Structure formats: structure tokens, C-alpha cells
């Protein structure tokens, strides 16, 4: 990137931040789900009016990040966004295998927006507009977002990554659209509105699909085919919850039972003996990972439960794992605990906890990411995963969102 280009892009980001702090761009939303009597969680569909967020910004920054490190974070994020843009293909997708689409393209778009860029304007406006078009094109007649239509193969007994990835693709693709709804062009906004309404129906369909162990798995999501002895897991469920929260924040009608059912499943995933959240309630597939504790904390926050004992205990455990986050791109002892996914979820969870959790966790994590960024702005391919190759847009997008979370330019991450 030429020096003058870098300056212009950083100036664009600064302008976006100033506009956000003045309440001029984006959406300011309350927690989407609020705690009601007897611990039942219900949607709070009344949206807050835009307010001056300057005080909120100042309170959210990690106090022990100095100006030099903050400047390095901004530069790293802009280099990362430049890399993501360079990976846009002729079909408008960001590079990855088709089985991972539109999730990878959606993550790239979310990273750009988290760094202060908007569709149709600024240095990456065209890239974002094209990415949105691609995500919209992947919506199947059923309403599911998936570049490869997985539903005809749903009853197959043969394992396929297509089945495993379908509901990730759906939730992440829909999340990106709902986060940019209202900020795209009029034509795109009209298309996004229709697409999200259909996507909500699909999400509810799979949330309420037959569960072989309903007392255990009711309210969650998993794969499109029956796999092992579980029909819900916290990983897929967290992305679906993000979509539901974002859609509600954007003004869509999301019935309260969607949230109540999902949050109840998240609560069941908490193990009080260990102070951690687990991947599933089927013991052989429990998977106590850094990512799942972060996902549990963040999911509770989306339900309005920001300061529960569950969240604090999980935050305490994540704090003990800080050295593993400083060991860049390495798995922890758990074979399922992939670095980038864990760093992303732990970061958004600890940000919601705030206070000592955020102050202790974030600065060394940000420092580690800056020190390990590649010269081209990307972060290395992930290691320690059995899933198909996802590419560096995946790692780069997730780490960009980690480095820009304090700016609160995506409504989904706001406290």
C-alpha cells in the first residue's frame, strides 16, 4: 500500500469514528434480549434512539494501551482490510472454498465495516457493495444462505462438510446483511429486507426441528444432518443468536420465543463445576474450549445477562488462559481449540464483561496479533483444524474484528 493511500484510508476511518461518536451513522441499540421475571429472557424490541457515544467509547478502551500501540492497531487493521479487498474474486466473493461461502465473504465484509468502512462510499465502498451482492446471490429459494444448496442432501447418511457448514454459512451471511442494513444503497436495502425476512424463517425452522433429546438440545442449532447423539451445539447457536440480535437491532420482527429458547440452551451449556461453557451437552462431544467459554459469555450478553456468575466464572477461566493466546496460532491442549476462533470469541466475550477482565486480557492479545501480522496484511492460515481449507481471509477477518472491537462500529459488538 502506498503511504498516501494509507493516510487517506486512516483519515476515512477517523471520520467514521467521529460520526459515530456524534450519533450520525450506524445504529445504537439496547441489548436485544432483556432479563424478565423468573429468569425468563425476552426480546426487547424497542430500539434506543442514536445518542452521543463519546463517553461510552472512552470507557471502553483498555487503559493500558498507549498511543503508540493504538496507532499500530489502526495501521494493522487497515493493512488487513487492504488484504481482504485484494482477495475479492470475479464472482464478488472473498477467496475460499465454495463450501465455506457465503460465510467467508460475510466475515470479510464484517471486518471492513468494523474497521469503519461502509458500502458505496470511501476506499472500500465498492468492495463492500460487491460482497453484499454476492451474499444475496447465495440465498437459495428456501431462504437459506449457502453457495451450494445443501438441503436436497439433508437426509443423506453420508458425512459431508456441506451439511456441517450450511447453518454457519446461513447465520454469518445473514448477520453481515443485517449489520449493513440501512447503510447500503436503496436497492440493496430493499433486497436485504426481503432476504433477512426469509432467513429468519429458515433459522427458526432449524431451531425447532426434531431433537432426539429435546430436554437437552431444545432451542439450539447444529448441522443439517443428524450427527453423533447431539442435535444442538453452542458454536452454531452463538452465530444464530448474533443474527437474531442484529436483525432485531435493525428493526426486524423477531418473536421473543426465538431468543428465550436459544438462551435457555446456552445456559444449559454452562458447567458450574468447571466454570466453563462447553460445546455440547453430549458428554463425549463436550469440548471445553476457549472459544466456547467466550461464546457463552457473549451469548448471555446478547440476552441482557452481562454480569452473571456464569459469565464471570468463564471470564476468570479465560484469564488463566491468557498465555495460550500469546502463543500465536497454536492450539491449546484441546485438539478442537483453534487459535483464531478462540481469540475472536474470547475477545468479544471479555469485551462484554469489561472491567478487569478486559483490561488484563486485551492489550497482550492485541500486541501478539500486531507482532505476527504478515507483510501483506494477512494472518497465517489456521492450524489444528480438520475442517476444509478456509484461507487467510478467514483468519484476517476475525483478527481485524478483534483489533477494532473497541471502536464499536458494528452494532452487534456494542455493550
pLDDT digits (tens, 9 = 90+) for 204-258: 999 999 899 999 999 999 987 666 678 999 999 999 999 999 999 999 999 999 9
For residue 131, give the C-alpha cell: 460482497
Q: In Å, how far from its chain's centre is CA 330?
A: 21
Determine if residue 342 is left, alpha or beta; phi over 0 gives left, psi from -120 to 50 gives alpha, anything else beta: alpha
With cut-offs at 50, 70 and 90, classify the pLDDT of residue 153: low
- DSSP structure string for 134-166: HHHHTB-TTS-B-SS--GGGTT--S--HHHHHH
d(CA 212, CA 204): 17
Cell of 290: 476457549
- Cell readout for 325 is 493466546
Max mean pLDDT among 55-69, 142-156, 393-407 falls in 393-407
Evaluate if pTM is beyond 0.85: yes
Element (H, E) at 43: strand 41-43
Q: Give bridge partners of residue 9 from the DSSP assignment.
A: none
- To which residue does cell 451439511 refer? 163
pLDDT > 70 fraction of the chain, expressed in percent and rounded:
80
In sequence order, which ranges of 208-281 are alpha helices (DSSP H)?
214-217, 234-249, 256-268
Please check the confidence at residue 36 and state whether its pLDDT lies above 80.
Answer: no
Span of 11-15, 38-42, 58-62 with lowest mean pLDDT: 38-42
pLDDT value at residue 60:
59
Residue 15: CB partners within 8 Å, gap ≥ 6? none
User: Yes or no: is domain 3-413 CATH 1.10.10.10?
Assistant: no
Query: If you average pLDDT over residues 341-354, what whole number do you get?
Result: 97
pLDDT for residue 3: 36
For the cut 50, the answer to whether the pLDDT of residue 49 exceeds it is no
Amino acid at each position: 500500500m502506498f503511504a498516501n493511500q494509507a493516510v487517506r484510508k486512516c483519515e476515512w476511518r477517523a471520520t467514521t469514528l467521529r460520526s459515530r461518536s456524534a450519533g450520525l451513522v450506524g445504529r445504537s441499540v439496547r441489548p436485544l434480549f432483556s432479563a424478565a421475571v423468573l429468569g425468563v429472557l425476552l426480546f426487547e424490541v424497542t430500539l434506543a434512539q442514536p445518542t452521543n457515544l463519546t463517553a461510552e467509547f472512552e470507557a471502553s478502551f483498555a487503559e493500558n494501551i498507549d498511543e503508540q500501540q493504538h496507532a499500530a492497531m489502526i495501521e494493522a487493521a487497515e493493512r488487513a482490510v487492504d488484504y481482504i479487498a485484494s482477495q475479492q474474486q470475479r464472482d464478488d466473493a472473498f477467496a475460499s472454498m465454495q463450501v465455506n461461502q457465503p460465510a467467508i465473504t460475510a466475515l470479510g465484509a464484517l471486518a471492513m465495516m468494523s474497521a469503519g468502512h461502509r458500502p458505496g462510499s470511501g476506499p472500500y465502498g465498492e468492495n463492500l457493495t460487491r460482497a453484499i451482492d454476492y451474499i444475496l446471490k447465495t440465498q437459495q429459494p428456501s431462504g437459506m444462505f449457502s453457495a451450494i444448496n445443501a438441503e436436497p442432501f439433508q437426509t443423506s447418511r453420508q458425512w459431508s462438510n456441506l451439511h456441517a457448514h450450511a447453518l454457519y454459512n446461513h447465520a454469518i451471511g445473514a448477520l453481515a446483511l443485517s449489520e449493513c442494513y440501512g447503510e447500503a444503497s436503496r436497492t440493496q436495502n430493499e433486497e436485504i429486507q426481503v432476504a433477512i425476512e426469509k432467513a429468519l424463517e429458515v433459522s427458526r425452522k432449524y431451531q425447532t426441528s426434531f431433537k432426539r433429546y429435546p430436554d437437552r438440545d431444545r432451542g439450539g442449532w447444529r448441522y443439517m444432518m443428524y450427527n453423533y447423539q447431539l442435535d444442538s451445539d453452542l458454536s452454531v447457536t452463538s452465530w444464530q443468536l448474533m443474527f437474531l440480535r442484529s436483525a432485531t437491532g435493525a428493526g426486524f420482527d423477531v418473536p421473543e420465543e426465538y431468543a428465550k429458547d436459544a438462551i435457555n440452551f446456552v445456559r444449559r451449556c454452562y458447567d458450574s463445576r468447571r466454570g466453563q461453557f462447553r460445546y455440547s451437552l453430549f458428554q463425549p462431544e463436550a469440548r471445553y474450549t476457549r472459544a466456547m467459554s467466550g461464546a457463552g459469555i457473549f451469548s448471555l450478553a446478547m440476552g441482557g445477562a452481562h454480569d452473571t456468575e456464569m459469565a464471570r466464572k468463564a471470564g476468570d477461566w479465560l484469564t488463566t488462559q491468557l498465555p495460550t493466546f500469546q502463543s500465536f496460532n497454536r492450539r491449546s491442549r484441546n485438539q478442537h481449540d483453534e487459535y483464531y476462533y478462540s481469540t475472536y470469541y474470547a475477545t468479544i466475550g471479555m469485551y462484554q464483561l469489561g472491567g478487569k477482565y478486559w483490561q488484563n486480557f486485551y492489550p497482550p492479545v492485541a500486541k501478539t496479533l500486531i507482532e505476527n501480522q504478515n507483510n501483506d496484511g494477512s494472518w497465517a492460515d489456521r492450524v489444528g483444524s480438520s475442517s476444509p481449507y478456509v484461507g487467510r481471509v478467514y483468519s484476517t477477518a476475525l483478527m481485524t474484528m478483534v483489533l477494532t472491537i473497541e471502536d464499536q462500529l458494528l452494532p452487534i459488538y456494542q455493550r
